[in-house]
Structures are given as structure tokens and as C-alpha cells.
Structure 1
Amino acid sequence: MECIITIELGTNGVRVFAFDLSGHVLHSMKGHYPTFHTDPDHSEQDPEQIFITTLYVVKNLLNQYIYPKKYKVACICFSAAMHSLLAVDKNGNPLGNAITWADNRAKKEAQELRRSALGSSLYAATGTPIHPMSPLLKIAWLRNQDNERFKQTSKFLSIKSYIIHQLTGKYLIDYSIASATGLLNIHTVAWEADALQYAGITAAKLPELAPIFTTAGKLKMAYQQSLGLPADVKILIGSSDGCLATLGDGVKGEGKATITIEDSGAVRVMGPTVLKDEQMRFFNYLLTDDCYVSGGPTNNGGNIFDWFAKQFGDFTQPFDITHSIQQLLDEAAQVPAGSDGLLFLPYLLGERAPIWNANARGAYFGINIKHERKHFIRATIEGILYEIYSIGKSLGEQRTIKSLSVNGSFGTTPFCTQIIADMFNKPVHLRREFHSVSFGAWLLSATEMGLYRSLDEAARIVELPDMYEPDQQRHAMYADYFNIFEKLSTKLFDEFEAIGNLQQQYAATNLLPHNSPL
């Protein structure tokens, strides 16, 4: 019997699934690794820790659940979060940590480029909004602020490119991850000359471009032996997590959109044409030659509720954040929709779509003397989902959206799914105990192996039997509160920038009260 292994290199950990050739999950495992926020605009991860964690999880899954059942691994398919950047030297050794999508250090470069004619032309060519998330801006920041590391760099990689190089010795990047760098012309499917010139690099500094169905060569002998894998196992380069989540929900064609809320979040559509927007609010990422995944991302998804739980949750069971989160959800359910007038701007990590403001900050608004802890819990959840709704509302200007699907561990909690249906006033479809990114990777693998003739055919097999219907009264209430949320998100632009500047100005002073024991 043969099986397919999918490896998702996510923001907070690696997820490994094993599927049989019928698409049924045999088993899955997850390993965690930290993100380092040493300063408000910094988000980094240790690439060696990611690699070691990945090997550990894959080996345990194979040895505990796959080999005992006599399965042979036919294919391993990768997916990964977008916008990561890792500089390596001529020997492939990392020059520091990987910089993640949430890093905002390049906000000065982004502001200047976004306001220029070059920024508009690069957006039209690459489909990537001008924002510090983009590896294009990260490379420019390294050139300007860490020139020694910039000069020592032999290759600029995504974290997935680094992991694949470790396993096979090849430097490759798939079209979808490449199209999220701000360096790929999505129309010619080649590195964009103007973007390379702006970044101050040549194409030789980047990995080789490859379609998502590309086999990345053979595993190095050491990993064949360590993992017990045959020499002929296919190592598929795969795609990005966002593109595969969209495919895994079967979202192809007009009328459908999918919402992902994991650590970050996004609202996406898939089709044969790009979204053209003078305000440069939407991304257009290439899945295959004639298929684009378009939409808007948010920095602030389930990671914000995790932050809230860690700061204000009750940890009656040590280190059990899952238990704490469930208690908070139960408490939030005691509060009516709209949190009795309490609003939360969830911009703890700056923001991408639709406001594209790296200086944005979080805030609670409308607090009155009657508000209790339970109101802050519900307002936090609603604030995260108002931001998701704001992306969907903007996307609705470009595409007709009649129904939604939801995936991601935060978005698929019943409490959150119902709020999404109410806010959007649309039915929401999902399947419980279903991981859309991994299933999308399985669909990709199955298509490459000839089980389906095309991704279109593969997407048609997806079934999402669970449905949440909107409540009209709650929708009307959310619509009224959202109008205030939307106005606050833009009215506070000057104040967001001012407080960010003050924070940088006083960061080095470390002033403490005179009576401080420190």
C-alpha cells in the first residue's frame, strides 16, 4: 500500500499528515517552534530549529504510524507560509535567523516605494502589495541597515527553499512562493528586472524557479537512512499554504471565497485572471500558469487571541493554552453580539489588507463602567473577525461572493464560524476535523501522480458538509458596529505613526520609577 506525506511549514509549527491514495487521513502530528519578537517590529525564527523539528516530527510519524501498517511512502509534498526571507552564505549556512511575514522593519522602505511610480509598476507586474512583509522590501532593508550581512549573502531563500536544500542539495522555489516575494513577474513567470534592480541583487542571488509539480531531486542518502525512505520517493516542491488552503476547500470559479484564520488570516478567491486595483490592496499569487489565487491577508488572526489568552486567561492546567482558550470562548458566549458597544482594533502586529499600514496598533474603544472581562474577550474575537470582514468587503468590490468556506484552527471554532456567517450575511461551509492546507497538498500530489487529470478535476471532489446560516438581526448589529471599526482603522493613521515613533525614541532610555527594585 502506498501513501502520501504532506509537510506544512507553518508560522508556529510544522504539521505532517499521512494520507492514503483515496485521500483519507492515516495520521497526523505537529511540532512547535517559537517566533522571536525582540522588538515590536521584529519577527524572526531559527531555521535550524525548524529543520530539526521537521525531521523529528516526520520520523516519529513514519515510525509510529506508517511503517507498522506496511505503508510505502510514494510522495512527500511541501507547503509553507509565504514571505519568509533567509540569507545564506556560499556554503548554504544561515546568516542569522529567518525573517517572517510579520516583520515590519522595512516599513520606511515600503512607505517610500508605495508612494512612487515604481511601486505602482512593480505591483502591476508582481501582484504583491508594497508592504514590509514582502521579501523585496526585506532585502532592501538588509542592504540599507545590515549591509555586512547583505554583502555576505550568496542566496536569499524562503524557509521552504532552505529546508528542501537541506534535504536534496537543490535551491528551488515554486511559482506560488516566488509570486509572494514581490520579485516575480507573474505575467512572464520570470524574475522582474526592475524589482531586482530596486533590491540591489541579480537573479543569481535567488533560487531556481520551478512549477509546483516539480520533483526536487532525491533525498540525500543520510536522510534516506535516517527516515527509512526509499531512494525513489518523490519530493514535490509543492506550493504556499494560502494557495493550497484555497485548493483544499475546492474554491475554484466565480461565487466562492475562502477564509483562513490560523495564526494570521486571509480571504481568497481563485480564478484565471488577476485582480486589478489602483489602491494596491489585493495580492495575486500564481498557482499554475493559468490560475491565480487572489485576495487580502491580515497579520492579526488567531495569534492575537493566543496573545490575549496568555496575558489574561486562567491557566488552571499548567501550560495548557487550549484549555484556557476554551474557557475564554465559553465566557465570551455569555455576551451579546456587539459586546455592548466595546470595539477592539486587533493590529498588534501592524496590518496588511485592506489598510496596509505597518504602523497600525491595537486599541480597545468604547469602554464604559459596565464592561467586564467577558466583554473584552468577546470584543477581542469580534475585532479579529471585523478585520477579516473588512478584507472580504473590499474583495466583494472585485468579485461576486455568494458563499464562503472557512479553514484554520481559529476560524473553524463553532463560536467564530457563526460570527463570520453573521458578519458577512452569507452561508459558511466547512468540514470538521479537516485541514485544508494539507488536503490541498494531497490534491496536488494526487494530480501529479495521475489520480486526477487536472487540479480543476481534483478540486471538484471536495465536500464541505457543515454549514452555518447567518442571523439577520445580528448581521444588522454587526454592520452598525463595523462602520465605527472601519472609520477608526483609518482615522488613527497619524496617531499610529506618532506612537510608533515615540516608542522608538524612548526605547533606549529604559526609564524606571525611582523606587523600582531594578
Structure 2
Amino acid sequence: MAASWSRAPTRSCWPGAASTPASTPVSSWSWTSIKTTQWSVPTVSQESSPLILTIDVGTSSTRAILFDAQARPLPGHVAQRANRLETTADGGAVFDAGHLLENVVAVIDQILDGAGPLAHQIGAVAMDTLVGNLVGLDAQGKPVTPVFIYADTRNAADAQALRQELGPEGMAASHNRTGCLIHTSYLPARFRWIQRTHPEWLQAVRHWTGIGEYILQEFLGQRCMSYSVASWSGLLNRFELTWDAEWLDRLPIREEQLFPLGDIDQPLQGLRAPWAERWPALDRVPWLPAIGDGAAANIGSGCDDPAHIALTIGSTGAMRVVVDPGLERVPEGLWLYRVDRRRALLGGATTEGGNLFAWLRQTLQLPEPGELEAALAERVRRQDASGHAVDHGLTVLPFVAGERAPGWREDARASLVGFTLHTDPIDIVQAGLEGIAYRFALIYRRILPHLGEWRNDHQIIASGGAVLSSPAWLQILADALGKPVLTLVEKESTSRGLALLALEQLGCIRRPSALPPETGATYLPDPLHHARHQEGIARQEALYAKLVASRSGAFHGGS
């Protein structure tokens, strides 16, 4: 039997739910009541101990995991299928919707088959997906387009045309209304590209939605898009929590073509045929509307308030913090997404991260990882005989795949300046890792003024395979940011975040951080090297101004 929800639904995407006007204030959350400076003691309701089934639809794979009521994965109850991304030389990046649906079905089958009688203890199903994706459905709810993802850049010309069409004031207004900038990863430019290159799709499509919403409609026969997923589209009015009327007036779509909006406390329930017969243990279990993978990762990392900033570096990177959604203005160069109606996610993402580190290792034919790490560790804290930090003299713009936050220049390219005959490969790698750290320092500077009373009393929690594999890089980040960096041991932070949100909705925990994640080493900043890195950041900004910002073309992000 499914446990009951702790709050009643408040909008109409769940059949039978009460309706709340879209203008209901969303800024009433009191941060004072939830201040934390240290992790709290785990507490779980003793009245029920449900299991949570999580489904993570990512770029590389689809994963399903069973978690217990303390947000711990059950050993052996993990299923994974590789996702097949199709890319083209002109910048295309799409999935086949049927392929992703098959993968979700396969991992659910595997989990339920392996769970046996435990399957009947599942109290909720929670899903996240990669965000910024789009698929068109016909009148029968079947896909008639590929699933376009955020990495598809064929709409670059359309993004640039929108910037020119709106002008600086219009772009600033849109940024503040939606929390998103004009960029290829968001839907305004995607719809303009569809209008320009595939107008036949506009005639064939009845509804436009995301892959998670399509899958849940297939299973449950209900249409709903969470505020979380919608906030990554560039079309959600963050003040009214409605589809943005000004953008709809500019785009070749109508509001009724988009899925109704709702929140994670509005479960979908009641599988339709043939899924009810296939998965009887899930038939009457509540399914949370899908949320964005970044939101789930933040929650799973223990970063559910302004006292904890998540810093993630895999192939690419992101820095995010949960803040009050009533923020008056979105900071220049950052985005503002949603976890739900009560929690916003402020931050910025980078196109560079472990991808640059891997390219440097391969191109420069560097030593084995252990030897390279030892060499980097020695250099990041070098001092001369007088006790001064030793600098390699290099400045790197790390834009191997264009730039996102904070400048949002799609045309930016990587640069290395300052090398001499005495520069060696380790110097270049160090400068590259520092160059990425400096982009995070610029994002961090923009976040700090919005932490309120936590501005000087917060933690930075680092996760991601690329950065956790390099203690030297973690030390560079701590020194560049001037703040201790705490490492995350949890391996399944995104899926864990889903489990925590489901447990919160079931009333098992008051808030996600009631069950803190496992953490590891802390890297402390050194004042001497922090000062050196501030000089390095200034050099990078000066180089950026000369090589990137001074060029005409793509919009330099801001509001």
C-alpha cells in the first residue's frame, strides 16, 4: 500500500486536485526557520518505512535504483541501460523517444524482477531527466519528432536573431522573467529553428513536451510538467509560475500545446494498460512529476538551502545553490531554475570541465594519472625562497566547447597565452585547471550577494568524477574560491536526491538534509595562493575582454 502524501495537491494537472491561482505568492518560505551550519541528525518517521524507486534518464544512460526510507540504495537493486545519443556534424544532438522509453521500461522490469516481494513496499516513484529537451507528440500522444537536447546547437543563428530582435532591454526583461538567457540550450531558439527548418512539424504536433513527461503520459495517461523541468525551458514565468505569455506571442506555439504545469507534491497515480498488468506493484503508487537532473543532484548532495553550495565537475561543470524563489532580480550571467515552487536553484554551468582535462592529458602525452597528480600537487603550492607563491605566467581561456556562464558566448574559443621556451606540459595542465576554477570563481562572486545571512557561513560541496579524481584540482578550487571545499563520497547523488524528495513528500522526513550525505576530505584554502589566484582571475578577465567580449556577434550574457 502506498503511503499517503503529506500535502494536498494545489493545481490541476493531477485529476481531481484543488486549483490554486497562478498568482499565488511563492516567496513565503522563511529561510530563518531552516538555517543549518552543520549537518543535522538523521530522523525518519517510524510510522512507515517505504521504499522509493528512482529513475534517472541522463545523457549517457538510464538508471533505476531502489532506496530505503533513509535514502540508502539497496545493494544489488540497480539497473542501467546505455542511452544512444545521435549527433551530426552540423551540431545536431537528439535521442529517439522510443529508445528512451524502452530503456525506462527495461530498468523498471529489472528492478521489479529482482525485488520480488520487496516491490510491494515501494511507496513512491520519482524520476529526473536531462533538461532543456523537447519532443513533439501527435494527437495520439506518439512522438513525431526526435528528442532535441540542450547540446543541439543547430539553432545558433536563431538564438542570435532573437538577441537582435529583443535588444538589450528585451533580453534583460526575459532573463529576469524566466531565469534563462537567450541561448541554444533553451526552447525559444529551438522553436524558431523548427519554424525555419521543419515547419511541417508545427502542423503535425499536437503537444510539445519533455521526454520525462512523454514517458509518464505513456505510463499513466496524464499530462503534467513540473515547475522544475519547465524552469529549464526558458518559457516559464518565474513570478507567476505559468507559461510566459510574452514568449508565446513570439513563438509558433500556443499555450494549449504545452503540458499543464504542476509541482512535485501533485502525484500522478493509476497505471494504464498494459503497464498496470505488467507492474501491479506500481499500479496505485504515486509517481512524482519528473524534475530536472540538476535539481535532484543538488538535493542529493545535501545542498538544499543557501548554507550549502554544490560544485559539480564531470565532463562539464556547474555551481548551484538553493535560494528563495522570490529573488527580485536574477544576477547577471546566472540562471535561476526551480526545484519546486518553494525552492529555486541559482547558479551557472560551464561547457568545460573534465573534457578539457582529458584533452590535455591526451594531447600533451602526459604521465600516468598517479604520476601526473603527484606533479600537480607539488606545483599548486609552490613557493620561492622568500615564501612567495610561484606563478607559471600562463593565462588560459578554457572554452573548448564555447562558453556558458557567466558570459554566454557560444563563439568563444580556448586560448593559451604567456608560454615560453621554459613552459612544460605540467605548467599547461595546471593553467588549464586553474582557468576552469577561475570561471567558477566568477560564478561564485555572483552567487555570494544572494546568500543572505549565509554569505560568510556556508559550505561548498564538490562532486563529479573528474574533480574527485584529482586532489590537486580540488586544492586549486579551494585556493581560487578562498573557501574550504568539502568532497562528496556519495556515488548516486542525483538518484539519492529523488529518493529524498519522495521521502519528504511522503512525510518520512521534514526536509532532505535531515538525511545528510556521506562526505570525505576537506580542502582548505591558503591565503598566499588565494591572492595569487585573484591576480590570475584578473589576467583571465583582461584576456577575455580582448579576445572574446570585444568581438561582435553572439550576445554577452547579462541582465
- Bucket of the pairwise TM-score, normalised by the shorter protein: 0.7 to 0.9
- Could you tell me which of 128, 146, 151 is aligned with 1:97? 146
- Could you tell me which of 412, 415, 421 is aligned with 2:468? 412
Distance in 2, Cα, partners of 1:136 & 1:119: 12
Which letter maps to 2:64? V
TM-score, normalised on structure 2?
Answer: 0.77
The more displaced of 124-133 and 336-345 is 336-345
- Could you tell me which of 67, 71, 95 is aligned with 1:23? 71
- Could you tell me which of 164, 168, 179 is aligned with 1:127? 179
Distance 1:352 1:498, change over 3 A: closer
Distance in 1, Cα, partners of 2:371 & 2:221: 47
Matched, 1:219 2:268: no
Which letter maps to 1:169? G
Alignment of 1:144-293 (within 5 A): 144-224=196-276, 226=278, 229-277=281-329, 280-293=332-345
Unaligned runs of 5+ in 1: 316-323, 500-518
- Could you tell me which of 455, 463, 470 is aligned with 2:525? 470
TM-score, normalised on structure 1?
Answer: 0.83
Deviation at 1:177, TM superposition (A): 0.9
Deviation at 1:138, TM superposition (A): 0.9
Contact 1:83 1:180 in 2 (8 A): yes
Matched, 1:7 2:48: no
Contact 2:184 2:190 in 1 (8 A): yes
The more displaced of 344-353 and 368-377 is 368-377
Unaligned runs of 5+ in 2: 1-48, 382-389, 555-559
Distance in 1, Cα, partners of 2:240 & 2:291: 19
Structure 1 residue aligned with 2:440: 388
Identity of aligned residues (%): 25
Distance in 2, Cα, partners of 1:492 & 1:353: 17
What whole-Å deviation, never above 9, does each CA across 1:472-500 have from its counterpart, x for those lacking one? 3332332222222223333222787789x
Matched, 1:479 2:541: no
- Could you tell me which of 119, 122, 128 is aligned with 1:79? 128
Deviation at 1:445, TM superposition (A): 0.4
Structure 2 residue aligned with 1:319: none
- Larger RCO: 1 or 2 (CA < 8 Å, sep 6+): 2
The more displaced of 137-146 and 408-417 is 408-417
Matched, 1:67 2:116: yes
Matched, 1:348 2:400: yes
Distance in 2, Cα, partners of 1:33 & 1:260: 22
Distance 1:92 1:3, change over 3 A: same
Structure 1 residue aligned with 2:513: 459
Which letter maps to 1:412? L
Structure 1 residue aligned with 2:97: 47
Q: How many residues align?
A: 487
Deviation at 1:108, TM superposition (A): 3.2
The 3-state SS of whatever aligns with 1:18 is strand
Distance 1:373 1:288, change over 3 A: same
Matched, 1:430 2:479: no
Contact 1:334 1:374 in 2 (8 A): no
RMSD (Å), alpha carbons = 3.2
Alignment of 1:438-453 (within 5 A): 438-453=495-510
Distance in 2, Cα, partners of 1:225 & 1:418: 53
Contact 1:2 1:71 in 2 (8 A): no
Which letter maps to 2:523? Y
Distance in 2, Cα, partners of 1:21 & 1:206: 35
The 3-state SS of whatever aligns with 2:468 is coil
What whole-Å deviation, never above 9, does each CA across 1:184-237 have from its counterpart, x for those lacking one? 111111111111111221112111211122323333443455567442232221
Distance 1:490 1:451, change over 3 A: same
The 3-state SS of whatever aligns with 2:466 is coil
Distance 1:285 1:192, change over 3 A: same
Which letter maps to 1:16? A
Which letter maps to 2:55? I
